[in-house]
Each structure stands twice: as C-alpha cells, then as structure tokens.
Structure 1
Amino acid sequence: MFCYQCEQTAHGTGCVDRGTCGKTAEVAALQDVLLRRAMGLSVCALALARAGHPLVALDAFVENALFTTVTNVNFDADSLESLIGEANRLLAESRDAVGRAGLRNALFGPALAEGSTDRQALLVEAAEIGIDARRQNAGVDVVGLQELLTYGIKGMAAYAHHARILGRHSAQVNSFIHEALEALAKPVVAMDQLLALNLRCGEASLAVLALLDEANTGAMGNPEPTSVLMGHKPGKAILVSGHDLRDLASLLEQTAGRGINVYTHGEMLPAHGYPELKKHSHLVGHFGGAWQDQQRDFAAFPGAILMTTNCLMPPREAYSGRLFTSGVVASPDILHAPDHKFDAVIAAALAAPGFQEASPDRRHTVGFGHHAVTSVAGDVVAAVKSGALKHFLLIGGCDAATAGRSYYSDLAAAAPKDWAVLTLGCGKFRVIDRVEGNIGGLPRLLDMGQCNDAYSAIKVAGALAEAFGVGLNELPLSLVLSWYEQKAVTVLLALLHLGVRNIRIGPKLPAFVTPAILKVLVDNFNVMAIGTVEGDLAAMGAAA
C-alpha cells in the first residue's frame, strides 16, 4: 500500500500499512485496480469515439468508479471486488465493440487486460501498478503530475456524478475524463504533456462545476439567504450528512407527514437555502459540525443517520444500526439504502428516541450563492467605491482534524471589520461565529455553500471584475483555501485555468506536489503555503 491522495496522509509522505482515513491495505489495493480498469474502459471509449462510434454507456460507470476511490467513500472490499467484476465485463464487451469496428490496434495496456476476479490475483496486480512501482520506473516528479491529474479527474467525477443523478451530463466533461485516463494508462508521458493535461483538467473542472450548478439550481431552485437553526427540536429525527441534494430531496418526500424532523450535518448545511428543499417544514435545522466531528456528532444524535457521499469515517458502536449509506458510499459495517429508497432509515428513526427537548435558538445564514450576491452587485460595488468595503477574503475548502487548521478561525476573526468574508465547503465551520456585522446591507460573512458550490465564488468574482472593469487578479480579493481530498484539487485546477494568482493553501501542501511541481505552480501562479495570520493579512493589504 502507498497512498498520499489526502492531506492527512501519514507523516506527510504517504500511508503504507493502513490509511489515516481508516481504509485497509486491501481496500486501497482494490481501489488501485478499479482505477486501472477505468483506464482500460476509457481507452476503448476513445477508440470508438474517434471512429464515430461513441459508447456513452461507459461514462456513468467510469464516473462512479473514480468517485468510489475518492477519500472516505468506500471501505468495503467486497463491493470493490464486485465493481471490478462489472468493469471486467464492460471491458470484454467494449473490446468486442472495438474489434467489430476494426480498431483493435488502437487498444493497449489496461484495455487488453482480461481481468481476474480472484482476490489474491487482484492484490498482486495492485502491487505492480501502484504508486511505489510507478515511482521506481518513472520518477517522483512524473508520478506526482500523474497523481495531480488523477485527483483532478476524481474530483471531476464526483461532481459529474452529482449532476448526472439530477439529469445533467456533459460530453465535454466525459470526453476529458476519458482522455486523461487514457494518458494515465500509458507507461510514460512526458512532463510537459502532463503539465498541459493538468491545465486542461482545470478547464474541464470549470465546466463540471458549471454543470453541477445548473443541475442543482435547475432541480432545487436558486439558493436564497435563509436563517438556519443550528440545533434541534423535540421529536423523532433523521440526520443527513455528505453532499447529495437528490438524496435529501427524496428523503424529505418520503418522510412527509411521518412525524420525523430532518436535520443536515457537515456539508449539507447549505441545503437549507434551496427553495425546493426548504419548502419541507420538517427540514428543521442543522446538527453538529464538519465531517471530521461525525463520530462525536453521530453518537450524540438520537435518531437515524444517512451518509450520502464522501466524508464517511469508520463507524462507532454507539450508533451501530442507526447509520446508513447511499449511492457510491460503502462500508462493511453499515447498512446500505439503495436507489434513493429510505424505508429502513425511516424505520430506524421511528424506533430511536429522538430529541426530548429543544436546543438554544442559535442561527446561521446560508444561501449566498452567485444568484443572490450578483442580484445586489450594485450595492456591493457602491460599498467598495464608497470605501465602506475594502476587501473580499475567501476562506473555504475542505476541513479536517489536523493541526494548523485553527489558522482559518484566527484569520476570520482577525480580518478587518471593513472586509467581507466569503466561505464555502466544510471549511465554513472554522469561520462561523467568527465574523460579525454588516457592510453595505449585506452580512460580512457570506456562506456560499458546499465545496460543490465553488462555481458560485467564481461567478461572483467574475461579476465583480466585470463591474469594475478589471481582471480577476486586480480585484481586492484574496483566496485562502484549506484542502483535504480530491475535490479540492479539482477546484484548485479550475482556478489556475482562470489564471488566478496568489492563492494560499494549507494547512500544508500536498505530498504529491514535489519541489519541481511546486516550482512550476509558484513560477506561473504564485501559489503559496499559508503563513502566519498577521503576516498573511499584511500581505493581503490589511493595515497594521
């Protein structure tokens, strides 16, 4: 085993025995094999597409295969083995289609693998294709760029999955995912080609973020500023964590009139701003904090719990039997609710005691997506021109339990009172209650949504740049990002595609970014690690 795809990787270098996330070496190996099968399917898909015979049936499977290998999604070796078996079947069918089209010579590498279903054979295969083996053959810099691209498309696949289940998909997005996987399937790709692919991944990442925004707002309406109870009410209860709005919508429909209150957790907090979700009166509030607090939060929650996407942690006995997964999420210790059907979740909620009394009435306002903010852009521009609003500070991204993340809370608290603070992702829990007051009729703290909603921040920045007649890098805007897993890489690549400079990243830089790769990022985009709160604020333009 060798895995360094998340920020918490052991010793800042790589997990080698067991993932910090909790995945076993066996699970990690099977994920590597599944990724390799996805490469083979993409080689077949592109061979047919280039000959005018697109095989779009592979798109959804490849998306899901990639999403399955994102951190904190799938811990279940049996389900991974089943997915590999399905990939083997699709590969055989795809090779046949390629052969019938007279294109067999276009296939190579993983597209030609017959594919075993024997667990031990799969583990042997994994050792031959893993990061360690590739670094010995190609070197750390080439493999680092390969992994940067891999994590970019893993995040893209997660966003594309969310859009697809809401009825939206993109030929551009799927085509690039296949192209990237085809390049990764080759034994050697030159550094300059990999750099170019990573920058193109940024372009495709922007496209998938726009796609997901269209899917979410098309199905759920444009988010509206909404005050959310950060607590609970008496009654039976279900807690929904993860990111998936479709699952939450289905659960709300299935619990209507059942006497069950539904709460959000973690990155589901922004769901309260969507008109089609908040119309359900039994969506009553938000319980707990960010994803890394779930073992404490879930144990304290007296009802059923549904984990809809990534961010799952190994479960504790305290909530065994009350925790369910859906979609691509899987763990050998957790019951799975299939196909958006939540009868078992509802039954568990009715059997649990629920809350006996109400919590204090603490509130947080969500719903400042690009539609809400740009609708008052004139007021924002006037506040800037009058001098009331001096700067925009975006603090957001993936949160985690590692040391150094108090920096983000301290940064928010220390931001000058004439600065507006934008936040998104579960990084918002580091800044909630740290920013008070209003500027120009708007709260100083603007919660723009999930990490899935990064497109909102991009749209708002673009609208402000247009209003002031300047480029993005000339705006009074600073971006300070926290990263944990692969979707953060996707967002970063999208920002780099737009040419955004001076992005600060923490709490530490990714292990797969070697000194040579970092030099390219610094030279071209001035990407930098976070420093001290005082030093960074001064560099952003705060008065001493």
Structure 2
Amino acid sequence: MTTNSRSKRTTESTQPSMFCFQCQEASKGTGCTIAGVCGKPHDVANLMDLLIYTLKGISFLSLDLDMPATLERRVSLFIMDSLFATITNANFDRDYFIAKNHAALALRKELRALREAQFPGTSNNLPDAATWETEESEFDGKAWTVGVLRTENEDIRSLRELLTYGLKGMAAYSYHAGQLSEIDPELDAFTRRALAATLDDTLEAGDLVALNLEAGKYGVDAMDLLDKANTGAYGNPEVTKVNIGAGTRPGILISGHDLKDLEELLIQTEGQGIDIYTHSEMLPAHYYPAFKKYDHFYGNYGNAWWKQNKEFESFNGPILMTTNCIVPPKDSYIGRLYTTGNTGFPGVQHIPDGENGARKDFSALIEQARSCPAPTEIESGEIVGGFAHHAVLSVADQVVEAVKTGAIRQFFVMAGCDGRMKSRNYYTDFAKELPQDTVIMTAGCAKYKYNKLDLGEIGGLPRVLDAGQCNDSYSLVVIAMKLQEALGLDDINDLPISYNIAWYEQKAVIVLLALLHLGVKNIHLGPTLPAFLSPNVVQVLVDNFGIAGITNVEDDMKMFLEA
C-alpha cells in the first residue's frame, strides 16, 4: 500500500504561515500552510494551536489535583468547549479565539495556584504549556512555536495528533450529551490525562498506540452517553419518510448536529406561520418521535454540508448553524446566516446561550423569516431513515433470517463524512454497483452520496439503512454486536459485514478509534488516508488491524465480495 509523503519541520527560509493537517482535505495530501482548504485563515489556525497547547498545560496541572466539584466541572466544560471549537469548519472567528486564549490563561493561573497550595514547591518543574506568559500582541508569535510541527519525531507527532483529533471528536459528542444534562466525569478525566500525555517526551510509540486505543474505549462511552441523552429526551428513532420538497410558507433552516437547539427553535416558532427545515446532519432529527408533534417541522432541504453555498442562497430564509459544518458564506446570504454554540464566523450574527439555563433567544431569526419568501424548491419526494439500533433490533429476527437464507449476502458499513473532492463520487458509484443481495448501513453525512438513489428493498427493508448522525455510528456497532450474538459467532469480524468508510474530520477519527478498540478489523478508509498518519504508523495499523485505503470501484468490489 502506498502513502502520501509527510511534512517534516520546515526551515526558517521556507516557514509556512500555518500548518494544519487535521482533516481529509489537507492541501496536497500533506497539510495546509497558507490558509486552510476549509477557509480557515492562517492566524485563526495558529490561535487554535495556541489554545490546544494551553489546554494541555491546564490538563497537566489538573493531574492528581484535588479540585472542588464546581472547579472540576468548569475545567471539564472549558476543555470540551475549546476542543469542539477547533474542529474543522466550526469556528473561523479570530476574536473568539483571542478571548478563548485569555480565558485559558486565567483558568490555568487558577489551577497553578491550587496546585502550589496542594503540592508546594512543584511550580519549578512544570512544562512550558503550563507556564508560558506573553502579551496578546505576541499570541501569534507564540502560537507558531507550539503547533503540530513542534514535535520533530514524525511517528510520535503522528500518534500525538491522532490522539488529539480523537479527543476533539469525543468532545463534540460529550458536548451534545451535556446539552441534554448527560455527563460522564470519567470521560472528562481521561481527556485531561490524554492531553497531558502529549507533553510527555518519555512516552514511546507503543505507549501512544495504547493510549489511542484507550481513547477508542472512551469514544464508545461518549457515543453511548449521547445515544442515551438523545433517546432519553426525544425517544428512540423510528423508521420515517422525510419530505425533501419545499412548502409555501417562510422557513428557517437549521444545520449542524445539536438537537437541543432544534427543540428550542421548534418551541419558539410554534404558531408563527413559519416552517422549520433541517439541513445535512440535522436530517435524522425527523426520526425522533418528540419532534413529530410539531406540524411546522416541514422536512429536509438540500444535501451535505459542502453544498451549502448554493442551497443556502435558494432557501431564501434565515439559516441557523448549530455546530461545525459551516463554510465561508457568500455575500448573498451572509445577512441571513446565524451561528450558535461553539460555531462562529466574522460578520455573522451569533445567538448566545441563555442566561442561567434559560432558552436561547431565536427571535431575530423568527422576525427575519417573516419578511422572507418561501424556500425555492430544489427537489421533491421523500427519503427513508431511522434505522438506529432500536428500530433494527425490533426486526432482528427478520434480518437474521435474511442472512441465514442468503437473501442478504453481505452488509456494507458506509458511514462517515461527505466532502467536496470529486474522488468522493466513488461512494455513489460503489453503492450503485453493489449486488442486489447486499445492504448499506450508514450514519453521518456520507449518506448523501447514495441515500436518494433508488436501490430497492430486501424483504421489505430498504437497501440503505440510515442510522442517523455521525455519532449514531454507535448504533451500527450495537447492531453488529447483536447480529454476532444472534448468529452465534465468536468474533465480530466473522460477520458478513465490510467497512468502506468515508472520513473528513475529527469526529470520524474518534469513530475509527472506537471501532479499533472494539476489535473491528479490515476497515477501508477513503477517499485518502489521513495526512497526519506517518508511514510507520500506517504500517502499524495495517499489521495489527488491516486498515487500508480505497482504489477503484471494480477492484474494491471484487475484493470485498470475495473476502
């Protein structure tokens, strides 16, 4: 298997403006050095690096510290929020990260004082991440010295970044669970321990591999926590037909992942003569029983996140971005775009959290929507989803019988992310070419490559089973484990399930680590392998887990079906 060449530390004469390779679109397959392909300016990228560095210092200071419960929760929330804000396509606002870095330094100062009180004399033996001080005017200069390339050993760098990106993805899932009052202090404690470990130069590659697999264990816990939060608040997803057309009334479009934001928006728009539409990863909200009671919850508008530049124009009404997936907006609709939570973009109105637990105030969107025309219809019809673990397991006997009789020859897990690269059309072509006795199990926005194709059914079940958002990849794991039990198999890898996963950003990284922790092998990742994986680390994943890339539809199809 071939891999892309990896970037080494640059010399002063060729020093780039930034260095980021955390997503699949890393420039030239190695890293963005002038500006992010995502649209992230170099100065914002560097301030993100500085924030991550200080979070590591905060985490180091917290080790073995006896923190009051209120302080521990503040620290956990701050780390989680900060990690989430640095995910690809979440926040592009320099002022936000200036403020966040100041807040990080203030929190770090508080922890240093407490540590000195509990462990007198230890302040002289702290890492730079726990002690650096400079004026705001020097943030940019300091930031360049503490980024990804600070770790010179390519393999150690690779494993540290793999861990850090997994923690970012886990933080996103923990954040959404926390919005619904579900928390897990063990997840928070592990996040701090793992961040601190990336400062430890005594840890060797084997230690970091083990830590990444441990992150996978906590990734499973985080997705389980979010699953319980969502189903506890809104019920178990049901198999649902979702309208993809447009109505005649003004609308508000909600994108991202946060179901709590959707709930608050639905409540505030009830009886206002305004319809609510979902976009991209919010599509699975239609599967939850609690949202079906709202008559003005109209349908889903558009496709995956990367098409928003066109689809937001034609929607005509206000758009609310609740999490990552925002791209630099066009002037034609920037005045109708709003952000909330950890999402931000310069010049875009931000809806803050309500004070003391109160609901967010969406009145600005509602007022603007009243003066906007109805959405321009860009397609019509329905798509079917809601095949999370509860729904699928309710017909488990039917599924098991279909496997035993050969009606279903093989399942293909094609979860993950969609993206702009034309090479991702591979997944559409792959879905079209799959034999009629195979079933696609999906979650995340990767589904938009094939969820509107007419691929037929097997025994009344559609051949595309959409479990939901990217975090609902957990449902696919639960289904697999139940199938393993029902079929009497000793090893999950003996199931007739193949993994052909598309990835884009850091939530996909924690899903991958979770699958590796569970012992799933022979996962294929595309359209390219992560740029942050060094050749030696790739080889470890190949040797121990059978990780591989993709080639072309014809050869890959043959390989999967004959395996």
Give the AA of the match of 1:426: C
Distance 1:194 1:51 in 2: 30
CA distance in 1, matches of 2:527, 2:205: 27
C-alpha change, 1:394 and 1:129, in structure 2 (3 Å) is same
Matching residue of 2:357: none
Among candidates 299, 312, 315, match of residue 329 of structure 2 = 315
Correspondence for 1:163: 177
Q: 1:348 aligns with which of 334, 354, 368?
A: 368
Q: Which runs of 5+ in 1 are unaligned?
A: none
Tell whether 2:426 aligns with 1:412.
Answer: no
Residues of 1 paired with 2:290 and 2:62: CA distance?
A: 37
Shift of 1:133: 3.1
- Equivalent in the alignment of 1:375: 394
Q: Which amino acid aligns with 1:465?
A: Q
Q: Which residue of 2 aligns with 1:109?
A: 127
- Does residue 1:15 correspond to 2:35, yes or no? no
2:10 aligns with none
Q: Tell me how many residue pairs correspond in the alignment.
A: 538
**What is the Cα deviation at residue 405 of structure 1?**
0.5
- Counterparts of 2:171 and 2:379, CA distance in 1: 40
Aligned to 1:153: 167
Tell me if 1:276 matches 2:293. Answer: no
User: Residues 29-428 of structure 1 correspond to what in structure 2 (within 5 A)?
Assistant: 29-49=46-66, 55-102=72-119, 105=122, 108-110=126-128, 112-118=130-136, 120-135=137-152, 139-339=153-353, 340-355=360-375, 361-428=380-447
Structure 1 residues 408 and 332, CA, compared in 2 at 3 Å: closer, same or farther?
Answer: same
Deviations 1:324-368 (A, max 9, x none): 000000111211011132111112211212247x67641001111
Change (3 A) 1:542 1:227: farther
Are 1:529 and 2:552 matched, yes or no? no
Q: Deviations over 1:282-321 (max 9, x none)?
A: 1111111100001111111110000000011001001021
Letter in 2 for 1:410: D
Identical residues among aligned pairs (%): 44
Residue in structure 1 matching 2:517, options 497, 511, 521: 497
Q: Secondary structure of the equivalent of 1:446? A: strand
The residue identity in structure 2 corresponding to 1:531 is T
Cα 1:435–1:45 shift into 2, 3 Å: farther
Counterpart among 463, 466, 484 of residue 444 in structure 1: 463
**Partner amino acid, structure 1, of 2:340:** S
Whole-angstrom CA distance in 2 between matches of 1:410 and 1:315: 30
Residues in 2 aligned to 1:110 and 1:499: alpha-carbon distance in whole angstroms: 37
Distance 1:398 1:259, change over 3 A: same
Supply the distance in 2 between the matched residues of 1:61 and 1:286 (Cα, whole angstroms).
Answer: 33
Runs of 5+ unmatched residues, structure 2:
1-17, 354-359
Query: For 2:414, what is the secondary structure of its paired residue?
Result: strand
Q: Given that residues 26 and 123 in structure 1 are in contact (C-alpha distance below 8 angstroms), is that contact kept between their aligned partners in structure 2?
A: yes
Task: Using structure 2 for the length normalisation, give the TM-score.
Answer: 0.93
TM-score, normalised relative to structure 1: 0.96
Whole-Å separation in 2 of the counterparts to 1:11 and 1:114: 33
Supply the distance in 2 between the matched residues of 1:63 and 1:33 (Cα, whole angstroms): 16
Task: Assess, with a 3 A threshold, how the Cα gap between structure 1 residues 344 and 188 changes in structure 2: closer, same or farther.
Answer: farther
What are the superposed Cα offsets for residues 20-50 of structure 1, whole Å, 9 maximum, x if unpaired?
1111111011101111111111112223159
Q: Is 1:37–1:110's contact at 8 Å kept on the other side of the alignment?
A: no
Given that 1:47 and 1:98 are in contact with CA atoms closer than 8 Å, whether structure 2 keeps it comes out as no
Q: Does residue 458 in structure 1 map to residue 477 in structure 2?
A: yes
Judge conservation of contact 2:247–2:375 (CA < 8 Å) in 1: yes
Counterpart of 1:511, as a letter, is: A
User: 1:29–1:126: 8 Å Cα contact kept in structure 2?
Assistant: yes
